[in-house]
Amino acid sequence: MKPGLLPFDDALAALLAQAETISGVERIDTLHAAGRVLAEDIRSALDVPPMDNTQMDGYALRSADVAGAGPERPVRLRVAQRIPAGHVGEPLAAGAAARIFTGAMIPEGADAVVMQEDTRAEGDEVLVMHAAQPGEWVRRAGEDIRADSVILPAGTRLTPQAVGLAASVGLAQLPVRRRIRAACFFTGDELARPGEPLAPGAIYDSNRYVLVSLLRGLGCEVSDLGNVPDSLDATREALRSAAVDNDLIVTSGGMSVGEEDHVRAALQAEGELTMWQIAIKPGKPLAHGRVRRGGMSAAALAASALSGIPMAVPAALPGEAQFVGLPGNPVSAFVTFLLFVRPFLLRLSGVQDVMPQAMPMAADFDWPKPDRRREFLRARIADSGRLELFRNQGSAVLTSTVWADGLVDNPPGHAIRRGDMVRFLPFAALLG
Ligand SMILES: Nc1nc2c(c(=O)[nH]1)N[C@H]1C(S)=C(S)[C@@H](COP(=O)(O)OP(=O)(O)OC[C@H]3O[C@@H](n4cnc5c(N)ncnc54)[C@H](O)[C@@H]3O)O[C@H]1N2
Ligand code: MOO
């Protein structure tokens, strides 16, 4: 391997070490909180369930009254009351039962429920054919959640079920981190916009569509600056304006070593390059850095260009914007986003557990000539339950990313034989 290429784990650790949690917390409606990150621990003010209640439609009674009952020896009780869910019953006397429905509160005095299939109603009496144990079919107050316990810790990325849990303890609003503001632009004079005709030598820009969608999927407020010409000045200008009001700048292309690759030089002129070239395939030219703030925002530039009136430079955010430069090859850009930008973004929002869950799976393929870099191969789960590889693992073959279910994470120089166990990173764990 070329000296100087950073091993994947070192690069990721170095990147995450740079990700300081953004400041800025907002209280938002719980109904709109899915996907956001909790800024504080959430405690329940109440027991859930808040009261003892029945798990079954049937009869609440005193278990001592039905000791020894069975199909051959039914015990007759008077039905003293009827308690639907949402209603509070009267205290239950010895020798009596309460007709009760799932979710309804157990009346004082009762300690068990007999499901109605184990009973027979006879007028205002019931024959009980089951010797209920104390507590049978009773959901205890606080058995799910105890009052004052933490139900969701700070840094939790809210799933739909977590939002439901917050609602179940009565919380109408939640404190969440503000959204990350991410700017992106795409270098390459060969890039044409979909919808426009394709000139000779041009290709359609796909990275913009992939990366804007990925950033939005992770809950970012995205400033899409579009295509930037392959020149040092244009790239510097784009970095300067993107830095003003964004936390993170993500670019694609121009990261390699050709004369037309200007992003590194532009970054060094406008801030600093902290990391470049990782020992992975695809994605070797990935870079991280920071861009000094102080210029005019992209929005202000556009407004002043439109009005023709020079505008005052808006007060810039202090400090620097984070920068991640992705390689231009479409598969490389997609894969490096999933492996680096996603955990970085989550960490900026205060999420601690940012590593995707890998699954050990059997290979249904041979990979006799591994690269010296750690490889991330496009693979899918075949009907056999094993993994098969896409036939063309080229960095420009975007079809492979649509065909695949995820990535085989293959160590440097490691050959794979059919039947071997490999580390599989499903897209389901890497997207969203
Ligand atoms: N002499 C060397 N050449 C290259 C090296 C190297 O080490 N030495 N590394 C190769 C690797 S690995 C990669 S990956 C690419 C990455 O290069 P860049 O980040 O500079 O990307 P570009 O040169 O701008 O583009 C590469 C490729 O991707 C296409 N592209 C770019 N942007 C888009 C877009 N928005 N949508 C679709 N396709 C895009 C572009 O047309 C090129 O084909 O460099 C290797 N070269
Ligand atoms: O390894 Mo480059 O990153 O795709 O070809």
User: Could you report the predicted ipTM of this complex, rounded to two decimals?
Assistant: 0.97
Integer Rg of the chain from CA: 31
Any atom of ligand 2 within 6 Å of the Cβ of 395: yes
Output the residue whose Cα is nearest ligand 1's atom 43: 329
* List of domains in the chain: 8-15+180-348 (3.40.980.10), 26-48+143-177 (3.90.105.10), 53-139 (2.170.190.11), 359-430 (2.40.340.10)
pLDDT confidence of residue 414: 98
DSSP β-bridge partners for residue 79: 97
DSSP β-bridge partners for residue 38: 176
Mutational test site, ligand 1, from 196, 256, 324, 339, max ligand atoms within 8 Å of CB: 256
Atom of ligand 1 nearest to the CA of 327: 19
In the three-class reduction of DSSP (H, G, I as helix; E, B as strand; rest coil), residue 88 is classed as: coil
pLDDT confidence of residue 312: 45
CA distance 25 to 214: 23
Backbone torsions φ then ψ of 239, nearest 5 degrees: -65, -45
DSSP state of 74: -
Residues lining ligand 1, CB < 6 A?
186-188, 190-191, 203, 205-208, 252-257, 261, 282, 284-285, 327-330, 332, 395-396
Gap from CA of 258 to ligand 1 centroid (Å):
9
Gap from CA of 397 to ligand 1 centroid (Å):
12
Ligand nearest, relative to CA of residue 328 = 1
Output the residue whose Cα is nearest ligand 1's atom 4: 256
pLDDT confidence of residue 94: 97
Two structure tokens written together for 410: 């293959």
Any atom of ligand 2 within 6 Å of the Cβ of 253: no
Which residue ranges of the chain lie beneath pLDDT 70?
A: 1-3, 295-317
Of residues 327, 349, 355, 352, the one with CA closest to residue 220: 349
How far is it between the farthest Cα atoms of the chain? 95
CA distance 31 to 399: 37
pLDDT confidence of residue 3: 63
Residue type, 193: R
Cα dist. 270→115, 148, 173, 296 in Å? 73, 50, 41, 13
Task: Indicate the pTM of the whole model.
Answer: 0.90
pLDDT confidence of residue 260: 83
pLDDT confidence of residue 271: 97
pLDDT confidence of residue 317: 53
Host H or E run for residue 215: helix 207-217
Mutational test site, ligand 1, from 206, 212, 225, 329, max ligand atoms within 8 Å of CB: 329
Cβ distance 55 to 113 under 8 Å?
yes
pLDDT confidence of residue 294: 80
Mutational test site, ligand 2, from 395, 397, 398, 410, max ligand atoms within 8 Å of CB: 395
Gap from CA of 395 to ligand 1 centroid (Å):
9
